[in-house]
Amino acid sequence: EDQVTQSPEALRLQEGESSSLNCSYTVSGLRGLFWYRQDPGKGPEFLFTLYSAGEEKEKERLKATLTKKESFLHITAPKPEDSATYLCAVQTLNTGNQFYFGTGTSLTVIP
Amino acid sequence: NAGVTQTPKFRVLKTGQSMTLLCAQDMNHEYMYWYRQDPGMGLRLIHYSVGEGTTAKGEVPDGYNVSRLKKQNFLLGLESAAPSQTSVYFCASSLRGVRGGTEAFFGQGTRLTVV
């Protein structure tokens, strides 16, 4: 059975304190791994897609990496506006075009 | 370019009432999805569609029906609402990817309360 697990559930950082969020997956054939940001009361907003182990994507203070078992979302020198819930999702050979989501990491950046 | 638009944004229903949630996308996407989001459960797929006139069940389809009569619209129906269907509902759409999947774009959500 395909599984997606995110850790930690919640993370509090001081402004400027870099850290990483984890998304581990156990799937039968990964087609794509997706990172989203979700602000309270809003829909998820797309950040990155990763397809192959070793792939990396960057956007401002965020960098996503992918291995054969997990993905990391690295946040460098975060600012309060980076506070949000970060979700990862997978598409697999079993699920085809469906996206299956982890439960997310709630990030709070304290000024 | 509005992206994915959901109506209504908020709704309160009494147990046993019916309603339809409307999702419209203007990006000419083939795939459309309905998710529900509950605290601690994450986003769970209810139903999805891979093209006009097609629908399929996701993880939690019981108590819901869907229709996709036009490519740009995907409707989610609750025939007899139950308190367990209190949730935030999200619609999403995506293109058919060549290499692998392509990202999904989400609407702003519908907050439904069943009393």
pLDDT digits (tens, 9 = 90+) for A14-29: 999 999 999 999 888 8
Q: Which of A41, A43, A29 is nearest to A87 (CA)?
A: A43
Task: Give every residue of chain A whose pLDDT is below 70, as ranges.
Answer: none
B98 in the Ramachandran plot: left (φ > 0), alpha (ψ -120 to 50) or beta?
Answer: alpha
Task: Give every residue of chain B whose pLDDT is below 50, as ranges.
Answer: none
Q: Identify the pLDDT of residue A31.
A: 87
Residue B88 to chain A, least CA–CA distance (Å):
9
Q: Identify the pLDDT of residue B110.
A: 97
Show residues of chain A in contact with B104, CB under 8 Å.
Answer: 34, 46, 89, 99
B90 touches chain A (CB under 8 A): yes
* DSSP conformation letters of B49-84: ESSTT--EE-SS-TT-EEE-SSTTEEEEEESS--GG
Instruction: Report DSSP state, residue A83.
Output: -
Q: Identify the pLDDT of residue A74.
A: 98
Burial, B73: exposed, middle or buried (Cβ in 10 Å; 0-12, 13-18, 19+)? middle
Q: Identify the pLDDT of residue B98.
A: 57
Q: Identify the pLDDT of residue A98.
A: 83
A54 in the Ramachandran plot: left (φ > 0), alpha (ψ -120 to 50) or beta?
Answer: left
Q: Which of B47, B9, B19, B78 is nearest to A41 (CA)?
A: B9
